[in-house]
Amino acid sequence: MSRILSRRQFLHTAAGGTLALPLLTESSRPARAATAPKRLLICFTPNGTIQNAWLPKGTAQDFALGEIMAPLAPHKNDITVVENLTMTAALRAAGGDAHGLGVGCLLTGIEPLPGNQFAAGMGGPGSGWPGGISIDQFIAERIGKATRFPSLEFTVKTMEGNIWSRISYKGAAIPVTPMDNPSMAFDRVFGCDTGDAAALARLRAQRRSVLDNSLAEFEALGRTLGKVDRQKIESHLGGLRDLERQLAATCMPVGAQCTKPPRSTLVGTKVPKYNLSNEDADAGADVDIPARHDAIRQMVVAAFACDLTRVASVILAPSRSPIVMSWLGIKGMHHAISHTQDTASLIKIDQFYAQEIAKLIADLKASKEADGKSVFDNTLIVWCNELGIGSGHTHDKIPFMLAGSAGGYFKTGRLVTAQKGIAQNDLLVSIANAMGLSDVTMFGNPAYCKGPLVGLT
Amino acid sequence: MGGGGPGPQGGGLPGASPGPAPGASPGATSPGGGSGPGPQAPTLNCTKPDPGRSPLRRLNHVEYVNTVADLLNLPEATELASTFPPDEQGGGFSNNADALVVTGLLAGRYVEVAEQLAAVAVTKAKNLLPCDPTQGEAACAAMFVQRFGRRAFRRPLRAEEQTRYLALYMEERKAGTFTSGIEVVTRALLVSPHFLYRVEVGVPMAGATVVAVTPYELASRLSYGLWSTMPDDTLLAAADAGRLGTPEGIEAEARRMLTDNKAKQAIAGFHREWFGMDEVDGIGKDKADFPTWTPSLRSALKTELELFVEKVFWTDGKIETLLAAPFTYLNPVLAKHYGAPMPNSSTEFSRVDLDPTQRAGLLTNGALLAVHAKPNQTSPVHRGVFVREGLLCQPLPAPPAVDAAGNPIVIQPPVVTPGSSTRQRFTQHSTDPSCASCHRLMDPIGFGFENYDSIGRWRTMDGEAPVDARGEVVGTREVDGKFTGAIELAKRLAASVDVRECMAKQVFRYASGRAETPGDACTLQRLRERFDSRGHDMRELWVAVAASDAFRYRAVSGGGQ
């Protein structure tokens, strides 16, 4: 293995070309779990919806899917539409942008911290970062130690590090940075170092001692700090401990019939401009969105099937999405359109997202566990949005859809109508319960919790 | 977005006090109700140093790549910036300590990048090594750990660290080579919290809540504050020699540092963020109304803005010039756009004198006027907000969510109809009481800019009527009153304590990488006094902040308990 790199190679590898961490070898596959584990996948799409096109028509167990959900028809018996949930924390927040509040409260169920980091859309006092841990990270903390990655987070494009482009939080004001570069994501999750055995053993030993040294320094430093500073060091330390576990893991996929996905050649993107006029929006920059969705989907499905992680989140588009879906014949950015009366385009956009969710379901159904069941049988997908109605910036009637039963925990093929005023916190509790955390009775701000959501089990 | 400069992170909730008082806590400043002059300055007790908060800070990506480029003598390492996920934002400036957190992806990225950097660095061992290993490997490795470690940690290694890093070398040397030993040490240093973060402990003093920072910690505060990178050898030598122990010693270093090109880069970054210069990149205008608005015009306008601010700052430095200069830097495309005299050069940007009755400094800059306007019309609201928040540092309250009857308020820009003036389109803001209480702080300032259209050109007609550029400022100490046109407003702002105080705050926020706290009141007051006593030279603010309590001391509680 050559250790001498030219400048060009340096930048190539530094940009995610060939180097892969952790050091993993193709040997020593560990024993497979005796019973297939449960998996959780959160899928976020933005800017509210068109309620009457989204909502199914009919009764709880006898309904027709709405126009937007038509692409999910093949999976109708496997989904649960949850309507009428209210994002109470967003409604009660003291300041902040409606989109930012929505996406910040969605999975945390608690008001954001006070602050002015994120301006309100129309000026005035903004909000700080979200005020607590998100449900996916909460679950990952409890069940994630069994796998190489406690959780994996993906996003569709490189977005600014702000409240609108993050959904997962390790705690108050600790956003989890999602992977925005499919080829680098592949290297991180599925990559293996190559070379002769002796060189690999050396490299592994080097990494071991460098990491040990770093862990010891972070631990020692953390002990000397006050609460606020210590949280920063502990978040970093958590990332290093994950790496440590990965060093000890093997490279070979470990699931029953799992194979590595193809390595996407897509790389990161420029951070998009949110303040473009629709005329100025560069539709050409977004035409690779479907390919990005494909790459992410293949990685999520393989990571579940190979039991590399049991918790994942995917931002199919960020809040206030400026994506121009020119491949659907749509002109203009999603966010800008959401503030117009062009419902036809908005329905098309949401149908596209429904189609992407349908593909995820189909691929998970096609992935088999050791016992012959599908990975989907043990999976719960949560499809969610930061607003009810985009043009009105509403925080009630949030469109939620569940797919999969989490190993038979949820009954599916249903339309669940929450009672007026019930907060999404109750759904978050149900999700934790479904993932096996039966002790969870509240999540987020306890004032908004009434227990698990009625009608799911 | 509403424009205006970065506000204080965690800034004040809207209160009832009219205007900011000198040295008042920023958390209490707000342009709320009344229109009278602000309260008198409270008497500050500035006898004891108060450094405000002292949060632990991670290097942001700009600081990180600058630092590794300097540390390893690898200028190309700055290209690594694009391979990091974007820094999380903290409001205000991009170096705000409170936002810079690390989770798994970035933690792993640091490890990967350290491997890459170390592998490249050891191929240029001459740059890295202080000694010749053929004259004794062990001694050379020890010297490397000591010298390189001091630069990586920006302080001398403690004895325990020296031993530990040398042990890393020796462990690797058993199976590897001298070079691979150096490489492993380099990797380990690059992923240390003492490299990735600016760890400060201060000079211990029993029972104290405020302590002096060590000379090396101060050197890093200076270098990241003024340069966005690590200290150079001269600065570390000044720390070694105890020359950073007095305000005078610090000031001398700060003056030296300001002559370095690194200061030019860092301070350009400050201005870019303060004035929202990058917002220019995305501005679109309706093609039917503004056919001359093209990407090349937009990019030329941005260059003009950058050049103007940079030239004023580094040649004259006076806030009056920044806000009221009747000249700018144009190329022929822009001269045509402004209707200004052609510059001497046919391609390059050069200085052009403008009609002083039409143009005055920053406020009449075409790029900013275009940013703070709608695609099809001007926006007195956004132009007013830019002045109120960006130049007066007064955060504005949000529009109400519901009207007096409890019905949701839907805010949409007014429809442009032939014959209607801007002022007519925004009458609801002054007649509807639920709008007027706040919009009186913005719109009447913005109306003063009505002589400039949506792309910043001078105009005398607004629709079918002559432009009415009468405006009014309320809620300040020295800017209040009626005025006509942006020139009169610019001159009044340029001469005001309000803007000088705001500028001092913005420099403070950037140089110290955090929002001000009530404890920083004395520091801010001294900054303003220095600014006043040195002829309002903006460069003096950077010198003054470097020698301030906020730089020389730290709160033992760090970022907070």
Question: How is chain A split among helix, strand and coil, in percent rounded to 5?
Answer: 40, 15, 50
Contact A268 B123 (CB under 8 A): no
pLDDT of residue A2: 36
pLDDT of residue B406: 59
pLDDT of residue A253: 58
> Does A353 lie at the interface with B, CB-CB under 8 angstroms?
no
Q: Which of A164, A56, A52, A147 is nearest to A101 (CA)?
A: A164
Q: Report the pLDDT averaged over residues B4-33.
A: 34
Q: What percent of chain B has pLDDT over 70?
A: 89
Tokens matching residue B175: 């199976």
Residue with tokens 């933005």: A46
Question: Which residues, 6+ apart, have CB-to-CB distance to A285 below 8 Å?
Answer: A269, A270, A272, A324
pLDDT digits (tens, 9 = 90+) for B75-115: 998 888 778 888 887 666 888 888 888 999 999 999 999 99
Q: Does residue A400 surpass a pLDDT of 60?
A: yes
Q: How far is B44 from chain A (nearest CA, A)?
A: 26
pLDDT digits (tens, 9 = 90+) for B206-263: 999 999 999 999 999 999 999 999 999 999 999 999 999 999 999 999 999 999 999 9
Most confident of the following: A241-255, B353-367, B369-383, B414-428? B353-367
pLDDT of residue A135: 98
Q: Pick the range with the lowest mean pLDDT from A24-38, A352-366, A416-430, A435-449.
A: A24-38
3-state secondary structure of B233: helix
pLDDT of residue A222: 96
pLDDT of residue B417: 76
Q: Report the pLDDT averaged over residues A234-256.
A: 79
> Does A201 lie at the interface with B, CB-CB under 8 angstroms?
no
Q: Does residue A32 surpass a pLDDT of 60?
A: no
Q: Report the pLDDT averaged over residues A58-85.
A: 96
Contact A3 B396 (CB under 8 A): no
Question: Which residues, 6+ apart, have CB-to-CB distance to B537 below 8 Å?
Answer: B317, B318, B531
- List chain A residues with CB under 8 Å of B187: 206, 210
List the beta bridge partners of residue B211: B554
Q: Report the pLDDT averaged over residues A345-368.
A: 97
Per-residue pLDDT band at A44 (split at 50, 70, 90): very high
Q: What percent of chain B has pLDDT over 90?
A: 66
pLDDT of residue B405: 65
Among A7, A124, A273, the residue with its CB nearest the CB of B396 is A124
- Chain B, 138 to 197: residues with Cβ < 8 Å from chain A are 164-165, 168, 171-172, 175-176, 180, 183-184, 187-188, 191-194, 196-197
Quote the CA–CA distance of B37 and B35 in Å, as a whole number: 7
Contact A180 B79 (CB under 8 A): no
Among B91, B101, B410, the residue with its CB nearest the CB of A232 is B101
pLDDT digits (tens, 9 = 90+) for B136-173: 999 999 999 999 999 999 999 999 999 999 999 999 99
Q: Report the pLDDT averaged over residues A275-291.
A: 78
Q: Other C-beta atoms within 10 Å of A6: how many?
A: 10
Q: Can you list the positions of beta strands (E) in A167-310?
A: 169-171, 174-175
pLDDT digits (tens, 9 = 90+) for A149-204: 999 999 998 888 899 999 999 999 999 999 999 999 998 998 877 778 888 888 88
Q: Pick the range with the lowest mean pLDDT from A20-34, B259-273, B294-308.
A: A20-34
Q: What is the DSSP string of B243-303?
A: TTSSHHHHHHHHHHHHTSHHHHHHHHHHHHHHTTGGGGGG----TTT-TT--HHHHHHHHH
Q: Does residue B7 surpass a pLDDT of 90?
A: no
Q: Does residue B465 surpass a pLDDT of 70?
A: yes
SS (H, E, C) B448-515: HHCCECCCCCECCEECCEECCCEEEECCCCCCCEEEEHHHHHHHHHHCCHHHHHHHHHHHHHHHHCCC
pLDDT of residue A78: 98
- List chain A residues with CB under 8 Å of B95: none
